[in-house]
Amino acid sequence: MGAAEGILDSDVGPVEPTSVLQRSGLTGVPTTTVVSEWWPTFRRQFPRCLVSASDFAGFFGTALRASSDDAKLAEQSDEALHRAFASFENQSCGLLDGLELFAALTLLSRGKVEAKVVFIIDLFDFGGRSALGRDAFGLLVERVASGMKKSCSCLGIHIPVDLPQAMAARLFHGRGAEGEMSVADLQDWWCRSLLVRRCLRRFVHSADEEAGLPDEDEWHDEEYPGVLA
């Protein structure tokens, strides 16, 4: 059995955000809004990428009200945003990881798949070198997986706890402890990975969102012995 069959339910269609997150107004927004407006402002205000419940509600409340003339939204958003925060923050530390949050919001936004993945990779390019090392890649997979689980209902994707590091070990095999993969090399990998593409397809609502990416006959499967049956 290939990796994709090992983690994906075959009878599940496009995922939907949890009802709590959907009521917050943070899902289904244009990808460009998340990537080009929300994230740069969030990064400036919270350079450690950690945010409390009050700061979360304040930041996104301001962002949502700026794009809406609905007075009712202004009244309801604070409570809904606090509930959305609580649905993500399950470590009882009172802080939410901004990388996990924005990976989830990006996947649940409306836009091109390629633009979403390029942005998520950039989130974890901590050195700004247009490349990721093995540890950063493993962290990317772990945070994306965690964000998906917390933000989506009927996800239909079962990600073993050891899979992020197994993927990193396979992808970076032979590159050495300090080895990196360029964004271009990562692009060539993920857009043809059957496992990644099928997971991403759960977040696709129209064919044009995958425009320009390799077709299914160009995808390749991967084996992760001991991690996926």
pLDDT digits 0-9 by tens, 33-63: 999 999 999 999 999 999 999 999 999 999 9
The model carries a pTM of 0.91
Count of Cβ atoms closer than 10 Å to residue 204 Cβ: 15
Q: 144 near 120, Cβ under 8 Å? A: yes
67, pLDDT greater than 80:
no
Residue 1 confidence (pLDDT): 46
**Strand, coil or helix: what is 182?**
strand
SS3 content of the chain, % helix, strand, coil (to 5): 55, 10, 35
Residue 225 confidence (pLDDT): 82
Residue 9 confidence (pLDDT): 62
Residue 176 confidence (pLDDT): 82
Residue 157 confidence (pLDDT): 79
Residue-wise pLDDT for 136-193, tens only, equals 999 999 999 999 999 998 777 788 889 999 999 999 999 987 899 999 999 999 999 9
